[in-house]
Amino acid sequence: MDLILKAALGAGVVIILAMLAKTKNYYIAGLVPLFPTFALIAHYIVGKGRTLDDLKTTIVFGMWSIIPYFVYLAALYLLVDRLRLEASLALAAVAWLIAATVLVSVWVRLH
């Protein structure tokens, strides 16, 4: 049942994104993915299954995880003028993956 709820939440987000992209305020579609749908799920699971300190560590790591997302957005912004949309998205995703790998590596070394 948990998996069905998570899938329904994901599908709901996709539907909202598609609807917003067709409105005059299409740019709000860039805000919807930042709604903490999956963070709420993750924090609930960690909060129920681990200690309060573990939950707080997860929250702090989540704050740092904004950096890879910013790298993705910056890369995409720079690439969309130069490449096809699909290539831009793919390279921006690779930039996110690299930034996330660096973040996790640094986090593991410091904690």
- At 36-91, the pLDDT tens digits run 878 998 999 999 999 999 999 999 999 999 999 999 999 999 999 999 999 999 99
Q: Is residue 29 domain-shared with residue 57, that is, in the same domain?
A: no
Query: Is residue 55 located within the same domain as residue 9?
Result: no
Q: What's 1's DSSP letter?
A: -
- Distance between CA atoms of residues 88 and 84, nearest Å: 6
Chain-centroid distance, C-alpha 7: 16
Is residue 45 assigned to a domain?
Answer: no
DSSP for 29-86? GGTGGGS-HHHHHHHHHHHHHS-HHHHHHHHHHHHHTHHHHHHHHHHHHHHTTTS-HH
Give the domain range for residue 16: 1-35
| pTM of the shown model | 0.79
Total tally of structural domains belonging to the chain: 2
